[in-house]
Structure 1
C-alpha cells in the first residue's frame, strides 16, 4: 500500500555527522570496479578515466569524502582474484583513506531510540553518541579503539611508547604504519599463497555471503507465500514493514522500551501506528522501499548480493549526500521520492556524478 505523503523523519540526534562543508559520496562496488579499471589501464577502463580524474580532484579538495561501508568489505571478500581485489583496494584506499560508515545495525538502534523519543516526547540521554564516520573496518562494526600493545597485565601501550628506543614520535609512526597495513590487508584479502595457512587457522571468507544467503532465502520464502496468498499484495508494504520490525530491530526495540518502562503495545496498536513507526526511521524507510519493490517484481530471484545492496543503501541514501548505485535501485528510490526527503542525490552512473560535481 503506497503512502499518501512522505513521512517526517525522526533523525537520530545521537548520530554525529561530518563537519559542515564536507559532503559524503557513496559508490557501489560496481563503480569502484569501473574506477579501478580506469586506474590500471584496463581495456574497458578508458571510458571511466574522466570520472576517475573528477573523483580524485573532488577527494583531494577536502570537500568530498568517499567512505567505505561494511558491505564493501564483504563484497570484496567474494572476489576470488587477488590481483583484482588489489586493484580495487588501491583506488578505494586512495579515495577513501579508509574512512568508513557506521553499519546499519548500529544506526538502526539510534533510529529506534529517536522514534521512541518522538512518540513519548522524551529524550534518551542514556544513549551514547556514535560517529557516522570513522576509520577502518572496526568502525563499520561499531568497534572503538585501534592497535594496542598488551601483556599479561593488560594494556602497556603507553609504557612501550615511553620506552621506545627512537622516541615516542617514532613509536607513533610505527603504530600508524601497522594500522595502515592492517586496514590494507583487511580490504585486499590474502594472496593465494596465504590462503592454506589462514584456512587452517579458521579463516573463512564465505561467512558474510552465507549469512546473506540465509536472508535471501527468507525473502524467497516470503515471495512464495505471497504467490500462495495473493490477498496480501495490496498490503505488501505492511508485510515488509512487519517483517523488518520482527526480524531486524525487535531486540533493539524491546530493550529501548524496557529502558523507558514501556511495552510494545504502547508503540504499535494498529496498522497505522506500525506504518508511522517504521516510516519515520530513515534507514527503515529505504529498506522497506527497496524490499517492497523487489517483491513486486514477480520474476525477481533473490540473491545474497541483493541483501548486501539493501543493507548498504539503507545507510547511504539517508546519511550520505550523493549516492551512485546501480540503475534499478536508483530508479526505485527516486520514484519513491526518498532522496528529496533525505536531501540526497541518487544517481545510476559515474557520468551523472561528474556532471553534478561540475555544477558545484
Structure 2
C-alpha cells in the first residue's frame, strides 16, 4: 500500500468536490480515483499536525465539515507520527550507523499511525507517558480512527483548540524568527556551508535526545565526540526529519523574499512526510525547494504540484 501526502490546499480542492461545488475537472476525477484506491487498499493519505490544526481553524462549520469528511475518508483517521517519536527512532538507527552497528528493523510504514491524536507527542504511543499511551490504545481498540477525527473536528472544545493553535503558532514563529536571524548572519554563504551550520544548530538543539538514545544503545557522549566533527554531519544526514529540515531551511534562508508562517508549516509537513510518503502533491514553491535539495532522490519520493499529476496512478 502506498502512502500519499496531500497539501492542505489539495484537501480543500477535494472538499469542494464533496460539497458539490466542483463537478468536473482534475479535482473531480482525483476525488473518485482516490476514494476507490483507498477503499481497495492501494493507497492511504495520512494527515499531519498541520492538517489537523489548519482544518480546525476553519470557523465555518459547513466548510470544515466537508474538509473533515474528505480527510477522514482518504486518511482513514491515520496520521504521520509526532515529531518527537520520529526523531528518536531515526536517531537510534543513525547512531547505530555511525558506530557501524546493525540498525533496528521497523515495519515499512512505522511512521504512520491510527488516530489523529498520535500526531501529537502527548498521545503518540511511542513516546507518550504510560497513562496517555494507554488512553490512545484504548481509544483505537474501541473507536474507529475515522470516527475519532470526525467527532473531534465537528464537536471541538474551543479552549483546547485555541491552546493547541497558540502552541503551534509559537513554535512556528520561533523557527521563522531563527531563520530570519540566520539570513543576515549567513548572507553570501554557499548552501553547503549553510547546511553544515544549520546541522550543527540542530545537533545542539537536540543534544538531550542524542544523549538519551546513546544511553539506550549502550554508548556515551564521549564516545561520539571521539568520532570527530564529521560524525555529527553524518549523523544529521541520517536522521531524516532533521536532514529534510536542514535542507529546506537553508534554502529558505537563501531566498530574498519575505517568509511567512505558512512557509514554516509547509516545511514541518515536509519534514514529516518526504522520508515516509511514496508521493507528495503540494505547492510549487516547496516542491521546487525539495527538488533543488534532491530530497526526492534521497527518499524515493514522487513530487507533484497538481492533482492531475497523479491521475490514473492508483487505478
Question: Normalising TM by the smaller chain, what interval?
Answer: 0.7 to 0.9
What residue is the counterpart of 1:244 in the other structure?
A: 202
CA distance in 2, matches of 1:240, 1:298: 18
Verify the 8 A CA contact 1:24 1:320 in the aligned structure 2.
Answer: yes
**2:234 is the counterpart of 1:276:** yes
Aligned residues: 302
1:341 is displaced (CA, Å) by 2.8
Structure whose alpha-carbon radius of gyration is higher: 1
Per-residue CA deviations over 1:281-314 (Å, capped at 9, x if unaligned) read 222222111111111102232x332222222211
Local SS of the residue matching 1:134: strand
What residue is the counterpart of 1:63 in the other structure?
A: 42
1:117 is displaced (CA, Å) by 0.6
Matches of residues 1-360 of structure 1 in structure 2 within 5 Å? Answer: 22-42=1-21, 47-122=26-101, 131-141=110-120, 142-143=124-125, 144-146=133-135, 175-176=142-143, 181-188=147-154, 190=156, 195=158, 198=159, 205-227=165-187, 230=188, 235-247=193-205, 249-259=206-216, 260-263=218-221, 266-267=224-225, 270-301=228-259, 303-357=260-314
1:279 is displaced (CA, Å) by 1.4
Higher mean displacement: 251-260 or 268-277 = 268-277
Given the superposition, is the C-alpha separation of residues 117 and 29 from structure 1 closer, same or farther in structure 2, using an over 3 Å criterion? same
1:32 is displaced (CA, Å) by 0.4
CA distance in 2, matches of 1:224, 1:209: 23
What residue is the counterpart of 1:3 in the other structure?
A: none
1:321 is displaced (CA, Å) by 0.9
Local SS of the residue matching 2:285: helix
Given the superposition, is the C-alpha separation of residues 332 and 325 from structure 1 closer, same or farther in structure 2, using an over 3 Å criterion? same
Verify the 8 A CA contact 1:78 1:206 in the aligned structure 2.
Answer: no
Higher mean displacement: 30-39 or 303-312 = 303-312
CA distance in 2, matches of 1:51, 1:287: 30
Verify the 8 A CA contact 1:71 1:312 in the aligned structure 2.
Answer: yes
Q: What TM-score do the two structures reach when normalised by structure 2?
A: 0.83
CA distance in 2, matches of 1:107, 1:280: 12
Q: What TM-score do the two structures reach when normalised by structure 1?
A: 0.73
1:124 is displaced (CA, Å) by 7.3
Verify the 8 A CA contact 1:39 1:91 in the aligned structure 2.
Answer: yes
Per-residue CA deviations over 1:139-167 (Å, capped at 9, x if unaligned) read 22313344799xxxxxxx9xxxxxxxxxx
CA distance in 2, matches of 1:148, 1:32: 28
